[in-house]
Amino acid sequence: MTSARLLEYFVFLALVVALARPVGLYLARVCQRERTFLDPLLRPLESVLYRILGVHPEQEMTAGVYSFCFLLFGVGCALFLFLILMLQRWLPGGPADSYLTTPMTPDLAANTAVSFATTTTWQAYGGENTLRYLAQVIGLVAQGFLAGAAGLAAGFAFMRGIARERSSTIGNFWVDLVRSLLYVLLPLTLIGSLILVWQGVPLNLAPYTIAHTLEGKTQIIAQGPVAALEFIKNLGTNGGGFFNANGAHPYANPTPFTNFLGMLAIAVLPASLMITLGHITRRPRAGWVLLMVMVALFVLGLAVCDRAETAPPPQLAGLHITGGNMEGKEVRFGLGSSILTAIVTSNGSTGSYNSMYDSYQPIGLLALVIFLLLGEVVFGGLGAGVYSMVMAALVGVFLGGLMVGRTPEYLGKKIGFAETRWIALYALLTPVVVLALTAIAVLANAGRAGLVTNSGPHGFTEILFAYASSMANNGQAMAGLNANSGFYNITTAIAMLAGRFGLAVLALALAGCFAAQRRLPATAGTLPNDTPTFGALVFGTILLGGALCFLPALALGPIVEFLRH
């Protein structure tokens, strides 16, 4: 690992950890409706929105009602986006019809609507040859804000459930949604988008540019309101891209600085929610322990991927080529920024890739797919990351309690029969959905038909990666799978819905159980939740649980591909 790459990795993690406390405390104030420095500007607007929407902020919801509103809002957003996509041909503005070569079929529109309403942003199309500018702005950009805010709202409610005692409610979804939009996403996106425009990201409604190359050929250069999408896709942990090449496109991600800024936008808010959890539950050390577990897992994956991608490719052995595996990577980013981006985007639900994973070495690809399969436990999605990590911690608490004979409780809340049921269902949902859909795709002719360039272990990995990415609401894909078919549009949508709504509803149900409990005082039989030992237990639980669920599938894909070289 060269000093330049090591410095970049260190600076990134140092900034994430350094920003976690101030940002986490700010998010706690937003969550608890306490005064913030933005109140003089935003409180009047917040009140107006409540009146327009008919929301009574003082009326709170049970976990069931909160989950229903979360589901209703997500379904409504998906239906609205579906209509926009199906009717986009009648929208005014560019680009010209001659450039829209990918037809917007009903199954593709439904898949895309589900994708953006669940923050997955799985894109089985190229944006520059499929969507009109207004469809991108009023459809995709709007969902970046709305779906991201809904996810953060669910995270707020989950943390309240752990923090409260003898309460039948966990908050008001509509209040959390509005406050997430006004106090978090909108101001940060405004600043970030202006920085992107300063760095050269287009924000226009101009026709596509026709350029004539030195060789005498014609090149079409896509334009559009790119900056409107590019920052919120990262901040709201949505992912996706205005262009088919996503973050590898020079208009979407022109400089190493914009790339680094985008990675911070992905990681800082989810990481800070660990500090928010510790503050709200009055166990700040417990929040820091979970954040350090995230950092440790991140460093492990980064080290594995870096070692794999910086080694000379075995396919080029004997040619005396040095410098690592640059195939599928942008020269302006180099190995360091490409590897860092791959790890950051695979950890969260933000598929803003800047390199092509189909060209990664098997072990480098193994690190990425493992993070997808672990289910957003490292930083993770906006809101989803906090309950994913806490769920992993609860499994560790239960196992640790069984091993040493101590009371299974976390942050003063007992893990009884009802709580164990929700935790078990949450832990099993991802492997059941991902492995079942992967098996169906491998066996079905329609599934194998999507493998247009690869077969064997690499082809299997492409299918597994697709469903793991969809279930993690991540949206990244390997370039060798043609997913724009009825089969993949339907099956990936199933995984996206399960990953977004199935996991969130289970987490909110658990939050409701915790909120109804009385907080138990710590005793000699309590397993401490704020020590390095507990952090090691959670770290081991995550790795062991992932291995038990997914090692056989991984052995059929990247592991056997590595052994064949």
Q: What is the 3-state secondary structure (H, E, C) of 348-416?
A: CCCCCCCECHHHCCHHHHHHHHHHHHHCCCCCCCCCHHHHHHHHHHHHHHHHHHHHHCCECEECCEECC
* Residue 110 and residue 486 in contact, taking contact as beta carbons nearer than 8 Å: no
Q: What's the rounded Cα separation, in Å, for the pair 326 and 338? A: 9
Cis amide linkage into residue 95, ω under 30° from 0: yes
Q: Is 258 exposed, middle or buried (0-12, 13-18, 19+ CB in 10 A)?
A: buried
Exposure letters 15-27 (e unless 16+ CB within 10 A, then b) = ebbebbbebbebb
Residue 255 lies in a domain: yes
Q: What's the rounded Cα separation, in Å, for the pair 89 and 206? A: 18
pLDDT at 318: 67
Residue 127 lies in a domain: yes
Residue 157 lies in a domain: yes
Domains contained in the chain, number = 1
* Residue 380 and residue 344 in contact, taking contact as beta carbons nearer than 8 Å: no
Q: What's the rounded Cα separation, in Å, for the pair 206 and 223? A: 6
Q: Dig out the tokens for 508 from the structure.
A: 């909110």
Q: What's the rounded Cα separation, in Å, for the pair 88 and 71? A: 26
Residue 508 lies in a domain: no
Which DSSP string corresponds to 428-481? HHHHHHHHHHHHHHHHSHHHHTTBSS--HHHHHHHHHHHHHHHHTT-----TTB
C-alpha distances (whole Å) from 504 to each of 186, 311, 383, 518 are 23, 40, 9, 23
Q: What's the rounded Cα separation, in Å, for the pair 148 and 110? A: 19
> What is the Cβ-side half-sphere exposure of residue 513, based on CA atoms within 13 angstroms?
19
* Residue 536 and residue 386 in contact, taking contact as beta carbons nearer than 8 Å: no
CB-based contacts of 109: which residues, under 8 Å, 6+ apart? 82, 85, 86
* Residue 61 and residue 169 in contact, taking contact as beta carbons nearer than 8 Å: yes
Amino acid at 235: L
> What is the Cβ-side half-sphere exposure of residue 336, based on CA atoms within 13 angstroms?
15
Q: What's the rounded Cα separation, in Å, for the pair 72 and 78? A: 10
pLDDT at 272: 96
Residue 479 lies in a domain: no
pLDDT at 526: 75
Q: Is 556 exposed, middle or buried (0-12, 13-18, 19+ CB in 10 A)?
A: middle
Q: What's the rounded Cα separation, in Å, for the pair 77 and 426? A: 25
Closest CA to 472 of 488, 447, 492, 449: 492
Indicate the pairing of strand 413-414 with strand 218-221. unpaired
pLDDT at 247: 86
Residue 497 lies in a domain: no
Q: What's the rounded Cα separation, in Å, for the pair 328 and 447? A: 25
* Residue 526 and residue 409 in contact, taking contact as beta carbons nearer than 8 Å: yes
pLDDT at 317: 66
Q: Dig out the tokens for 389 from the structure.
A: 């990590």
Exposure letters 187-222 (e unless 16+ CB within 10 A, then b) = ebbeebbeebeeeebbbeeeebeeeeeeeeeeeeeb
Q: What's the rounded Cα separation, in Å, for the pair 465 and 141? A: 25
Q: Alpha-carbon torsion 154, 160, 162, 168, what sign?
A: negative
Q: What's the rounded Cα separation, in Å, for the pair 348 and 511? A: 22
Q: Dig out the tokens for 212 from the structure.
A: 């004539």
* Residue 332 and residue 382 in contact, taking contact as beta carbons nearer than 8 Å: no
Count other C-beta atoms under 10 Å from residue 401's C-beta: 18
∠ CA 150-355-558, rounded to 5°: 90
Residues of the chain falling short of pLDDT 70: 1, 316-321, 404-407
Closest CA to 233 of 153, 148, 152, 136: 148
Residue 463 lies in a domain: no
Q: Dig out the tokens for 557 from the structure.
A: 């894909």
Residue 276 lies in a domain: no
Q: Is 50 exposed, middle or buried (0-12, 13-18, 19+ CB in 10 A)?
A: middle
Give residue 52's domain range: 23-271
Q: Dig out the tokens for 218 from the structure.
A: 């014609």
pLDDT tens digits along 512-553: 999 999 988 877 777 788 899 999 999 999 999 999 999 999
Residue 61 φ then ψ, to 5°: -120, 150
Entry pTM: 0.94
pLDDT at 409: 86
Q: Dig out the tokens for 158 from the structure.
A: 């989950």
Q: What's the rounded Cα separation, in Å, for the pair 194 and 182? A: 18
